[in-house]
Amino acid sequence: MRKFLAIVGREWKAYFLSPLAYVILAAFLGLNGYVFTIILAVLNEPGAPKDQALLYLFANGFTSWFTLFAVPVIAMRLFPEERKSGTIEVLLTSPVTEVEVVLGKFAGALGFYLTLWVPSLIYIWILRSNAPIDLGPVAAAYVGIALMGGYFISVGTFASTLTKNQIVAAILSFGMLVPIFSTGLLDYLIRDPKNRDALSYVNMWTHLEEFARGVVDTRRVIYYVSATAFFLFLATASLAAKKETP
Amino acid sequence: MIEVQNLTKKYPTLVAVADVTFSVREGEIVGFLGPNGAGKTTAMRVLTGFLPPTSGSARIAGHDVVAQSRRARSSLGYLPESAALYPEMRVREYLAYRARLEDVPGAEVRGRVDEVVASCLLDEVAGRKIENLSKGFRQRTALAGALVHRPPVLILDEPTVGLDPMQIIKIRQMIRTLGRERAVLLSTHILPEVDAVCDRVLIIDRGRIVAEGTPAELRRRLAGSPVVRAALKGTVAARGDLEKLPGVVAVQETASDGETRVRVECLPEADLVEDIFHLAVARGWVLRELARDVASLEDIFVRLTRHDETEPGASAEPVPEPQPEPPAPEGTPS
């Protein structure tokens, strides 16, 4: 556990020592700010459904697409950087297991992703000091953000074990994430109820909305946690297999 | 502390390490000497558990590197080729990170870091970022990282590569000190390093150990017949007299510029320097130079690892002579 925490800490700190992290942070902050102005505009509209407005801070197209681009960039450095510099050799020859390495790096990247969301607490605070806001759905929305972020980052972690090249890793994870995210969107097109149910099970779009409304559905939690575990398992297997071919 | 039995590592296209057996005791510094691409790095990567062996076994401090990989890894300190480090970290931060990875108890981390900072002479750079350090300091930081958990076994892959002469001397002194109470295996292709640092040498070529022994032993065993060189003033016909000396095998004579140079090849164990001196005095030759030719490790190394011909002399025990095949392409993982 201590080794896992050591890896998490190193990974998380490493983000703040690279310029790329600040680019992502700044872009995300700008985007959230823009979304917030829209929310304010909606709230100022007389007769607008005020209780729903905050939902759009989490469940909106901008943020989803931004996450889809940002996660591959966040995760791309995890393994390629160490492979390139050779530090992977030091890491894997110290008495740590591959699972600890993968989980540590995943948690470090997820930690950075969640850090992106920390400034959004300011918006909640601003709204709360001016209007009655129920904190339950807000908390649920953050749970949803964390679950979805974890899923995306596990995919990115897996992609980064596959190559020595960061750009290739980013493209690979983007290539995997887009179908993962958009398959669920197809449920608008399907009429057959069974297929529709299946698709809605993986429709992250509606999931986020649910979370933001304050619904923490166990089925959703299980879906995200198991998918995350699956990709982390793939990442561990891939890392172990890579040992054969330096 | 390091025991290697019939270790073989094959890649799809080449055999990087072929049936290698050796051991390193506590308090011993063993040099792994070989040309680039000989299999040194691959052998070390197998020992450190980074690569699995194809066959054979290796033990670090009694733990098998495959079956008890984690224990084996925690007993060794490894300095990989090119001293890989995280450029964005500070020296002290990096060492603390390494200590945590290596199971150093939380309360002791600070003390251990201070200890290696002092022993690796890193005080002046301890708070600096690794990317801003000179090559010498980086190498020492990496070495400190390998020492922070006080491992009984040290595996150092080309520890002095890319350093300036002063830094090389410092690192070598450190390795000597470290080797007093540890088993140290270091790889190098620099011959004077072996003479300066190692108690024992393994010469490896194309994945095989082609010779083993102390530097002095190797010289004695593999140098061939001793040779004495002399230079005499004027043009002297010395050859006939020299050949009559007991123990002489062959004499070459060349005269030029009012000087006669002779090269006297002697039987093994024969020391003819004094005999030649007395002969010169008796004949009234003016000696300008008289010296034993000491076969350098370099000569031995070149002979053992030269591939254009088979050297019967190289087949001296303990291992078979270098085999011309399998073909080892240049530039493959060493």
CB pair distance less than 8 Å for A96 and B101: yes
CA–CA dist A237, B295 (Å, integer): 52
Q: Which residues of B touch A85 (CB under 8 A)?
A: 84-87
- Quick one: pLDDT at residue B319? 42
Min Cα–Cα distance to chain B from A153, Å? 22
Closest alpha carbon within chain A to B54: A244
Token reading at A207? 């999931």
Q: Which residues of B touch A17 (CB under 8 A)?
A: 88
What are the C-alpha distances in Å from B166 to residues A189, B172, B173, B226? Answer: 73, 10, 11, 34
- Quick one: pLDDT at residue A51? 65
CB pair distance less than 8 Å for A3 and B48: no
On the 0-12 / 13-18 / 19+ scale of CB atoms within 10 A, A84 is middle
b/e B296-307 (16+ beta carbons within 10 angstroms → b): ebebbbebbbee
pTM of the model: 0.80
Residue B325 has pLDDT above 70, yes or no: no
Query: Is omega for the bond preceding B326 within 30 degrees of 0, making it cis?
Result: yes
CA–CA dist A212, A205 (Å, integer): 11
**Total residue length of chain B:** 334
Residue A63 has pLDDT above 90, yes or no: no
A52: closest CA among A129, A148, A138? A138
Q: How many CB pairs under 8 A join A and B?
A: 75
Token reading at A205? 């779009």
Min Cα–Cα distance to chain A from B272, Å? 54
Residue-wise pLDDT for A204-229, tens only, equals 777 888 888 888 888 889 989 999 99
DSSP lists the bridge partners of residue B231 as B261, B289
Min Cα–Cα distance to chain B from A34, Å? 33
Residue-wise pLDDT for B308-319, tens only, equals 544 444 444 444
Residue-wise pLDDT for B181-193, tens only, equals 899 999 987 777 8
Please indicate whether residue A70 or residue A213 has the higher confidence score (pLDDT): A70
Tokens 């994945």 belong to B207
What are the C-alpha distances in Å from A88 to residues A96, B72, B138, B144, B211? Answer: 12, 18, 17, 17, 33
Residue-wise pLDDT for B235-265, tens only, equals 878 788 888 888 787 888 888 778 888 888 8
Closest partner residue to B50 (CB to CB) among A6, A85, A243 is: A243
Phi, psi of B184, rounded to the nearest 5 degrees: -120, 130
Adjacency order of strands within the sheet including B76-79: B76-79, B153-157, B183-188, B28-33, B200-205, B208-213
Residue B131 has pLDDT above 60, yes or no: yes
With contact defined as beta carbons under 8 Å apart, do B65 and B47 qualify?
Answer: yes
User: Residues in chain A whose beta carbon is closer than 8 A to a beta carbon of chain B?
Assistant: 2-3, 5-7, 9-10, 14, 17-18, 85-97, 243-244, 246
Adjacency order of strands within the sheet including B55-60: B15-24, B2-10, B55-60, B63-64
